[in-house]
Amino acid sequence: MLSWMIISGLVNGEKESYCKYGKIKEVRMIQRYLGIDIGASSIKYGIGDSKQGLQYFASIRLQSKDRATFSRIFEDIFAEAADWDLAGIGIGSPGTISQPEAIIRGVNPNIPFLSGMSPKELVPAELDLPIFVDNDANLMTLAEAEYYKAESCMGVTVGSGIGSGMVLDGQIYHGSHGYAAELGHCNMVPGGESCSCGQHGCLEAYSSVDGIYRRLRAQGSLYANRLLPELIERRSDVNELDKIISEGEEVLIRALANLVIVMDPELIVLGGGGMELGLYNINRIREAVGHLLPQAHRETFRCELAGYGNRSGVMGGIILCERNLI
Amino acid sequence: MLSWMIISGLVNGEKESYCKYGKIKEVRMIQRYLGIDIGASSIKYGIGDSKQGLQYFASIRLQSKDRATFSRIFEDIFAEAADWDLAGIGIGSPGTISQPEAIIRGVNPNIPFLSGMSPKELVPAELDLPIFVDNDANLMTLAEAEYYKAESCMGVTVGSGIGSGMVLDGQIYHGSHGYAAELGHCNMVPGGESCSCGQHGCLEAYSSVDGIYRRLRAQGSLYANRLLPELIERRSDVNELDKIISEGEEVLIRALANLVIVMDPELIVLGGGGMELGLYNINRIREAVGHLLPQAHRETFRCELAGYGNRSGVMGGIILCERNLI
């Protein structure tokens, strides 16, 4: 308990703490892990382990998405983390990541410069720490599977894009080539809205926050420049908003139902900024997904909001790292 | 090699064989397994093991689908199999099967009497053999994964219904409650054609053989009473036929693409009577699925026809049994 209290002091940015014998400069008693969650709009990071949870958490809003900005942010994070005795780093990134090389493959529309490189390259070379990388939604799902004590869990994040991950038998499922769980690019509307991936009719083109803005812009809507909370608030009064958000929800519901029908998971967890702000309603989703399921699946279907909230990705990075090192 | 030759004699229905020392009445040297594949239009069965393959195969066309008929057929199969030294029985059945109880759950539209019972009940009680049951498409996929030496394989059968199975890391994936891989009941067309499962717009309602006939009947088509080979042959001349079969293929293509996007399998195998008769074209499917995939998935996507053909289900029953007993 003492070490926890001292470390709490460090968490608050104080490099010195006190115990009954006097001042303590640094505490390096327990090995901890750094989790970094690269998102389309922010980079979140935190320090902790699976037993004690997060002992530090911070978020940096992205002003630009070029490599130089990312490198600077990463340098700052590591400078800040230098006071901790880190045992390893777990990084979550959007995109399709080949395993075990951790190269981001294919188009990465939200952070284009990441395509073809590994997020490991963002870590200063002089830092001699083991680094593990996985898809951000995979890490969110790993954390949520631990949170809900589920052996089999599907995680879906509604944010700038639609992310998804699968945990089967307690392990992240990567598929045969590392490209599994790209739910956001399932074809939901034949010949539908164009998606940032180059295809048409993807789930992401309808149900992600960016997808909703893109559709509003295409209609020349005044709301295309407003913030998401305003869109959600004005939805009940403004037909064009309600129509586009309802369609986003309906397409998401069908995708979730199909995921349950194919995977029969113990649990589906919904997270991401969109869910946190209330873009879609979890109760409505639960009910509507249930209506689309065959009887046997309906009886066992369970859907929850992310227990770790917007810290799921960071926590997942920490758990990934810990699992690989212990 | 001798034992194989003698057994070949038995396979051909001869109960007596000859080797250089004279007549041999019965051969019980190698333990074998009986695989039974319950289909909507026939019951197929065979004897063999994974090393030597099928050494006997037969198919009984179903005239009626009541329990009494099934019991009689099963009795005949076991009477016929009495000459073999069977070590166990592996049964494949359509429907959602709870594991490990092997009870068929939910609606089973193609063979209604099976709902709520276990196919084990069809095996005469006096037969003291271990029995293993799994979904017919799961067993087809298990056999095909072995045929193509794939660790991860998705199998889809186009027949009276659409069956599907998943093999992950060499094992059948059942999901958390035994209800995984019900691809045929994925919602592909919102508010679309009604399906025998009670839902609307399922893959099965568009792409299965029964689905195609149901749509032809609904249009009052003369072709609703013709056999499938005639439908396939006349397709290029008859617009209504071409439209319905093309839509079935298009919906199947989208479902397969989404399966690849979510599961990233080593291989997809297509089987079932519809594929064997050429209802859909494997090359066209390969090409069209590829067009719907994100770049990374497109590069690794592989799709083949069932290597064991219409014997996949029986072979899968045999492999299931062997794996459980060895």
Average pLDDT rounded to a whole number, residues B302-308: 98
Contact yes or no for A254 and B106 at CB 8 A? no
Whether residue B12 has pLDDT greater than 70:
no
Of B170, B134, B166, nearest to B151 by C-alpha is B170
Contact yes or no for A176 and B295 at CB 8 A? no
Q: Is A235 helix (H, G, I), strand (E, B) or coil?
A: coil
Write b or e for each residue in B214-239: b if 16 or more Cβ atoms lie within 10 A of its Cβ, otherwise e: bbbeeeebebeeeeeeebbeebeebe
pLDDT of residue A4: 32
Structure tokens at B102: 């092997």
pLDDT in tens, A240-258: 999 999 999 999 999 999 9
* pTM score, whole prediction: 0.89
Contact residues on chain A for B175, CB-CB shorter than 8 A: 152, 263-265
pLDDT of residue A24: 56
Half-sphere exposure of B85 (CA within 13 A, CB side): 7
Of A46, A44, A42, A51, nearest to A33 by C-alpha is A46
Whether residue B19 has pLDDT greater than 80:
no
Contact residues on chain B for A177, CB-CB shorter than 8 A: 264, 296, 300
Least confident residue range of A92-106, A131-145, A157-171, B143-157: A92-106
Q: Is B35 helix (H, G, I), strand (E, B) or coil?
A: strand
Of A274, A270, A271, nearest to A228 by C-alpha is A274
- Residue B169 has φ and ψ, to the nearest 5°, of 50, 40
Of B214, B297, B113, nearest to A107 by C-alpha is B297
pLDDT in tens, A26-69: 444 567 999 999 998 899 999 999 999 999 999 999 999 999 99
Rounded to whole angstroms, the Cα distance separating B206 from B195 reads: 9
Give the DSSP letter of residue A150: -
pLDDT of residue A5: 32
> How high does pLDDT run on average in chain A?
90
> DSSP 3-state helix, strand, coil percentages of chain B (rounded to 5)?
40, 25, 35
Query: What ipTM was reported for this prediction?
Result: 0.88
Rounded to whole angstroms, the Cα distance separating A268 from A271 reads: 10
**Shortest CA gap B173–chain A (Å):** 9
Q: Within chain A, what is the greatest distance between any pair of CA atoms? A: 71
Whether residue B22 has pLDDT greater than 90:
no
Q: Are strands A32-38 and A42-49 parallel, antiparallel or unpaired?
A: antiparallel
Interface of B with A (CB under 8 A): 96, 98, 105-107, 151-152, 164, 168, 173-183, 185-187, 190, 197-199, 250, 254, 257-259, 261-266, 292, 294-297, 300
**10 Å Cβ neighbour count for B88?**
20
pLDDT band, residue A3 (cuts 50/70/90): very low
Is the Cβ–Cβ distance between B224 and B233 less than 8 Å?
A: no
Least confident residue range of B5-9, B149-153, B290-294: B5-9
Closest residue in chain A to residue B198, using alpha carbons only:
A294
pLDDT in tens, B246-272: 999 999 999 999 999 999 999 999 999
Angle of CA points B7, B11, B14, to nearest 5°: 90
